[in-house]
Structure 1
């Protein structure tokens, strides 16, 4: 058999397989069955495994999701505020090594990045600030009060609000329900955070 005939037969075999695969995908979609040709989506995984989780825990998780969303958004906005303020002051986005970040925090961040890389997972960010803890963000702000004092109206109040937010953050970050009083305290503390920026 000539070389060109072998190549034609391989192409024909490949095309036939492709057509069969497309037909199977069509059948899977039309009849909502799994024949192994559609990629398994996270929705399919949820439908298969999520019902096996305790109903009370699922309901609790749904209730806690809104608190997580508040904290996620708040922490991200604080990081952005710190980044923008230090970038403006240094006139560059390369401010991490400029002496504005306490040495102990820079050392901790370096260790966290190394630990992540050694675990063989993707780096969560190329920005070192994303590796700081919530408490470390407070230290960065207060240790650069000459820059942040024009944004916030009281250093002492800022420290109190950060301490309160950090205490409220723990149950949310460690998958424990917030008591009703603590839900109210969270709402009030978030309001206090924004009041800190009112002059």
Structure 2
């Protein structure tokens, strides 16, 4: 794991310890090892909070967080604790946030405020999904220019089915100028994993299981958006992490 991944993992551990009752021995060992590894990095040493400095175990960290109030207050405190450790990574997200801030929601003012607020939050989710999915398409397409990438049969069947449906609905615009535009996260993941001998060198610190897990989580969020479901804050935070991990991994 790189620095960002270790910090994100540490954040997940302390959130779990601060909001759940049980702390396992494995979690304690992982917390201790992560602190040890991260303390070798000057950025972490100079920016870590008092809580991370003094708490040598997850149980100690939980006791510190219990003084902050309920679960919501503890989560907010943890977000503040980790903000300075991860703020430099936010440059990857500037373009998305700039697009979101420029969207005019004035025509939604007739709707209840709660619906307006959730609409803005869901617009952010859509932007992240759109950028991630198209980043994967561009990545696969670039690799195909120099290497042989075979499309798995089930993926090709899905592509052919969507093309046939498109031909029957002439009023709909074409999806794109190549077959990858007929693939969503699941199909794109299958192409990468199905050609792991080609793509593995682009994921030197990960494996095909990591790709499957990320793609599966992204697909679940995509389905919520497709059916106008609401994506909660935890899922939106996870989506930002996936975006940073994928773009960093692929050097996009």
* TM-score normalized with structure 1 length: 0.64
- Number of equivalent positions: 145
Q: Which residue number in structure 1 is paired with residue 200 of structure 2?
A: 149
Determine if contact 1:158/1:196 at 8 Å carries over to the other structure: no
In the alignment, is the contact (CA less than 8 A) between 2:202 and 2:250 conserved in 1? yes
Aligned equivalents of 1:87, 1:155: Cα separation in 2 = 22
Distance between the aligned counterparts of 1:179 and 1:47, measured in 2? 20
Rounded to whole Å, the distance in 2 between the matches of 1:159 and 1:47 is 36
Q: Which runs of 5 or more residues in structure 1 are unaligned?
A: 1-45, 91-98
Of the three residues 105, 122, 127, the one matched with 2:178 is 127
Instruction: Tell me the residue number matched to 1:117.
Output: 167
Which is worse superposed, 99-108 or 65-74?
Answer: 99-108
Matched, 1:165 2:218: yes
- Counterpart residue number, 1:22: none
Pairing 1:101–2:151 present: yes
1:188 is aligned, of 225, 237, 241, to: 241
Helix, strand or coil at the partner of 1:67: helix
Q: Secondary structure at the match of 2:147?
A: helix
What are the residue-to-residue correspondences of 1:62-81 with 2, within 5 Å? Answer: 62-81=120-139
Q: Distance in 1 between matches of 2:202 and 2:184?
A: 21
Conserved in 2, the CA contact under 8 Å of 1:157 and 1:196? no
- The residue number in structure 2 matching 1:21 is none
Report the CA distance between 1:141 and its aligned residue: 0.3
**Cα RMSD between the aligned structures?**
2.5
Flag the 1:170–1:48 CA change in 2: closer, same or farther, 3 A: closer
Confirm or deny that 1:178 pairs with 2:231.
yes
Q: Structure 1 pair 49/73, CA: closer, same or farther in 2 (3 Å)?
A: closer
Shift of 1:50: 4.4
CA change 1:194–1:48 in 2 (3 A) is closer
CA distance in 2, matches of 1:48, 1:139: 41
Instruction: Quote the offset at 1:61 in angstroms.
Output: 1.0
Find runs of 4+ consecutive structure 1 residues off by over 3 angstroms.
Answer: 46-55, 194-198
Distance 1:196 1:47 in 2: 34
Match of 1:56 among 106, 114, 127: 114
Residues 84-131 of structure 1: per-residue CA shift (max 9 Å, x gap)? 1112114xxxxxxxx700122112111101111201222121211100
1:88 equivalent to 2:138? Answer no
Q: Which runs of 5+ in 2 are unaligned?
A: 1-103
Q: Is the 8 A contact 1:152 1:197 kept in 2?
A: yes
